[in-house]
A and B are shown apart, each in its own frame.
Chain A
Amino acid sequence: MALDHRFHQLQTLRSILATAAYPLQLAVDAPIRVGSRILDSFSRHEQLVLENRLLRSDLMELRARQLRFDALQAENDRLRALLHTSAQATERVEIAKLLAVDLDPFRQQIVINKGRLDGVYAGQPLINADGVIGQILTPNWTSSTALLISDPGHALPVIVARTGLRALAVGSGNPRRLNLRHVPPQEDIEEGDLLLTSGLGGRFPPDYPVARIVSVEHLPGQPFLAIAAEPLAALDRSREALLLWTDAPAPQPGAEEPPDGRE
């Protein structure tokens, strides 16, 4: 146990055992998946047409925005080249499915169906359409375990979008709640402020939305504000996640946030 905790020496053994465990996890997951598919097939025709129409209009809108995005990206790269700064990292995403299996109910962890064979690595960011979900804890051959940002052992460096104030968003064990640590009372921070990843720590690329602040309290006698934020991504309800690959240089060991990614 000490070996596993301190030195991560047993990764291979864990990988082998986890690969053996994968069929069992799939077997548990399968009936639930089939069940939801059967429910889907019973949904009404009009409903499907309506949903289809909505999705179509969404797609149109996003396409139109994408047109401008490509042009802007090109322009941005050109300007950066002129200024001789490094080009922005390009990013690649892939969809991973969450397996419907429960882990320890007092930790916030999930299992996804992509593993080292798909190029998943430890510390890789995991997002969905709304915001950051978490990061990969241990990649196995065909599946991986990921740590959600709401786990009490997870800390995420963020900035407040409105003011650029840097802070650390620490999980609380509740999937709808993050706590911001060590923000002094004189800082300008309000309810409703949007939190983005800051890119410090080297694991998460900058400027991904994380959470919105729901309450800021100054408890008399406490040196820091008690700030609660709600993650934008529905951590306890999503069935899919996006794995993010960035072409940025590998994070420097020692530069990463300490409580992160540890058992």
Chain B
Amino acid sequence: MNPGMAIPVPVLLSLLAAFALTIVPLPGAIAPARPEWVLLVLVYWGMAFPRRVGILVAFLAGLFLDVLQHQLLGQNALALAAAMFIVLQIYPRMRVYPLWQQAVVVAFLVGLTRFLHIWIQGAIGFPPGSSLYWLPILTSALLWPVVYHILRDARRRWLLHLT
């Protein structure tokens, strides 16, 4: 990896924060509604720096997430890499979308990762037997504007010179 492609520190810090938010204990009733923080952060950075934050970063982040959540090694990695692939295909269009339309795309991406999860978990015999399983699609889309504004401000303050 040449120096022009290095991953900036704020990106790593925001990913770390996303990991922490993923395992912060929530009260039982709202725990299933936890948004997919790591995916949200990855989508933003994939959109902003498609040459730096790509499928490999998404895959490694997913691997770490697998260990954090104690899921099958590679499950999140596959899902996040697939989502990132789509982001890399459509990022020029996503950049000019209005915020609500981006949120729709995010909802679609979360739905895709959830679908991949349920597929794998079904294959190994532990399907989550509740329709609450799909709730993060909604919460992630609703929180997308918040994540977007925070990360955009961070990018404008520290990373304006990067592409």
Contacts and interface: CB of A to CB of B under 8 A. Distances in A.
A242 B57 CA distance: 39
B25 A105 contact: no
Contact of B73 (A13, A21, A100, A145): A13
Given A5-B72, A102-B31, A236-B28, A21 B20 contact: no
B64 A105 contact: no
Contacts of A10: 73
B72 A173 contact: no
Interface string A229-244: 0000000100000000
Contacts of A5: 72, 124
Contacts of B25: 28, 32, 100-102
A137 interface: yes
A103 B31 contact: no
Among A17, A101, A102, residue most surrounded by chain B Cβ atoms (within 10 Å): A102
A130 interface: no
Contacts of A137: 70
A49 interface: no
B63 interface: yes
A153 B125 CA distance: 8
B68 interface: yes
B120 interface: yes
Given A5-B124, A24-B16, A24-B19, A102 B26 contact: yes
Interface string B41-82: 000000000000000000000011001111111110010000
A104 B71 contact: yes
A116 interface: no
Interface string A78-119: 000000000000000000000011111111010100000000
Contacts of A101: 23-25, 68
Contacts, number: 78
Contacts of B128: 106
B111 interface: no
A111 B25 CA distance: 12
Contacts of A103: 23, 68-70
B133 interface: yes
A101 B22 CA distance: 9
Interface residues of B, number: 32
Contacts of A13: 73
Contacts of B4: none
Given A1-B120, A153-B125, A173-B129, A104 B74 contact: no
A207 B101 CA distance: 59
A159 to B, nearest CB: 27
Nearest to B121: A106
Interface in A1-39: 1, 4-5, 10, 13-14, 17-18, 20-21, 24-25, 27-28, 32
B69 A104 contact: yes
A152 interface: yes
B2 interface: no
A263 interface: yes
14 contacts: A4-B72, A24-B68, A28-B20, A28-B25, A101-B23, A102-B23, A103-B23, A103-B69, A103-B70, A104-B71, A105-B31, A105-B32, A106-B32, A106-B129
Given A1-B74, A106-B128, A153-B125, 16 more contacts: A14-B73, A20-B64, A21-B68, A24-B19, A27-B20, A28-B20, A101-B25, A102-B26, A102-B34, A103-B68, A104-B69, A104-B70, A105-B32, A137-B70, A152-B129, A263-B124
